[in-house]
Amino acid sequence: MAQALRIAMAGLGTVGAGTVRLLAENADILSRRCGRALALTAVSARDRGRDRGVDISGCRWFDDPVHMAREADADVIVELIGGADGPAKATVEAAIGAKRHVVTANKALLAMHGAALARAAESAGVTLAFEASVAGGIPIVKALREGLAANRISRVYGILNGTCNYILTTMRATGRAFDDVLAEAQKLGYAEADPSFDVDGTDAAHKLAVLTALAFGCEPNFAGIHIEGIRHVTPLDIAYAAELGYRIKLLGHARMTEHGVEQRVHPCMVPLDAPIAHVEGVLNAVVATGNFVGDTVFEGRGAGAGPTASAVAADLVDIALGQSRPVFSVPARELKRVAAAPMERHRGEYYVRLTVLDRPGVIADVAATLRDEKISMAAMIQRGRSPDDIVPVVLMTHETEESSMARALARIAALDSSAEPPRMIRIETL
């Protein structure tokens, strides 16, 4: 059997400990599939004395992950620290500088610095692998870069954050409000103490930047992503969505347009006949559309020790087998810097919920505003009076431009009859 692939790991949190466990428990399977052993030789983490439930006694300990990346007896550095900058970035740069392969689960790092790191890795002749950075155990990186390599990808979209999907699923099933379900998700460990990274859309946007680069062979452009979270979604919106034949999902969506690459993360009304509408709980799903293969749907667990460790190990297997591919589907020197399509040029259908005073002329004022912006209504729902004479009115529009919709909503919000700011959710025709 060939010499073992020597691995040094930076970060021993949930994913790191899970990867150590997987390498130990599945050592026989991995060695047979690789023709060589995968040997963990060094580790680095913040707390040396912490019991992580895994055996690292045979590994050399490094207090400094950057020093480990340069000096460890290792062929591959696995970076599981997290964060776009700081020690994570320094560790990856040091590993590449020392001509060591890198495996990372760090979507923020790739979203912010992916192009520069890809060029550095290519120049050094080493692999930069990141299957674990997007959608946990779903092999979507390999699918886009290898399985769909013969296709022109026209769009890629998906449920990229399990925390948000859990919250929206539970709100629909129970009728409870966002804050209540978020508190439950925190108790169950699905959401962090500070949940903003997840519920405000940042985590999904980091992943979308990576998927966009893979799908279109362009530089990751996190700054070009339109991002909205789910805090404003209410049980009333979810109930109306069900009545109208939709479910609300937080989606990341990327497609190439005449104005550049459109990247957006926001709540969407998804038709019930779309497969992604039925992806529930903490599961993730990604859909990629190729010009020869059509739509391909990938679904599975998007986070957690086991699924993410599985993705880390998949990259290690490729390196052990000597398989190397361009980081973002094309050689780094050919990565395109594609303009970001302005969100105001987006065209689509819209759900709008108004909260207005129930008095004559209100609907006429709203209709006049939509008419002035050349927005056509597809449907309207208004039911009976309330004791305080404030009622919800739901509008569904035909396709229109985002800029027109934004102007119309601003004018409606300024009406004397408007009791609350209008709530808008984009409708996806998937």
Q: Where are the domains of the chain?
A: 2-137+325-331, 140-302, 346-427
DSSP conformation class of 345:
G
- pLDDT value, residue 385: 67
- Nearest Cα residue to 133 out of 288, 328, 281: 328
- pLDDT value, residue 386: 66
Tokens of residue 130, six digits: 């990141």
For residue 358, give every residue at least 6 positions away whose Cβ sits within 8 Å of its Cβ, in sequence order, or none.
385, 386, 389, 390, 391
Would you name the residues annotated as active-site residues?
207
- pLDDT value, residue 359: 85
Could you give the C-alpha distances from 36 to 128, 324, 334, in angstroms and in order? 20, 17, 34
DSSP conformation class of 143:
I
Tokens of residue 159, six digits: 């449920």
Please report, for the chain, how many H helices and E strands are present, in that order: 14, 17
Element (H, E) at 7: strand 2-10
In this prediction the pTM is: 0.95
Superfamily of 140-302 according to CATH: Dihydrodipicolinate Reductase; domain 2 (3.30.360.10)
Q: What angle do CA 10, 14, 18 make, to 5 degrees?
A: 85
Match 């086991």 to its residue by tokens.
306
Q: Does domain 346-427 match CATH 3.30.70.260? A: yes
Running along the chain, 430 residues long, what does each successive block of 10 average in pLDDT?
93 95 97 96 92 91 97 97 96 98 98 97 97 94 96 97 96 97 92 93 98 97 98 96 97 95 98 96 96 96 92 97 93 93 96 92 93 95 76 95 97 94 94
Tell me, yes or no, if the two domains 2-137+325-331 and 346-427 fold the same way.
no
- pLDDT value, residue 2: 85
Task: Find the DSSP H helices in 200-354.
Answer: 202-216, 235-244, 305-320
Beta bridge partners of 8: 42, 77
DSSP conformation class of 67:
H
Q: Does domain 2-137+325-331 match CATH 1.10.10.10? A: no
